[in-house]
Amino acid sequence: MKTDEVRIMWLFVFFDLPVTTKAGRRLATRFRKFLKDDGYMMLQFSVYARVCRGEEAVDKHIGRVTRNLPKQGNVRTLQVTDKQYARMRLLLGEAEKNERFAPQQMVLL
């Protein structure tokens, strides 16, 4: 790989936050709003992903997630290459009305 090439990476955030109380729901909603405002797209209710330009950007966004962690629950991150991300498959049984294949999107950097 040339030194001037930037490797496109995807950063996933998985979380399991307590939502049994009103305060817990508020904190979980605040965390989801932070992720959306920071450029993440929701893949599933507690799985978000965003594209990053290289390892440095991944590290920056992991730091931002860390600074916005809720006090309870757990959050995990996973980074994959764009090639690995492209191999993801959506498998559906009987889809509910709100489940469908998303249209193909082009990511502009």
Per-residue pLDDT tens digits of the chain, which is 109 residues long: 555 678 999 999 999 999 999 999 999 999 999 999 999 999 999 999 999 999 999 999 999 999 999 999 999 999 999 999 999 998 888 766 666 555 555 565 5
For 75, other C-beta atoms within 10 Å of its C-beta total 17
Q: Are 99 and 45 spatial neighbours (Cβ–Cβ below 8 Å)?
A: no
Residue spans of the domains in the chain: they are 8-86
Residue 60 identity (one-letter amino acid): K
CA distance linking residue 75 with residue 28, whole number of Å: 11
Q: 9: helix, coil or strand?
A: strand
CATH fold, domain 8-86, is Alpha-Beta Plaits (3.30.70)
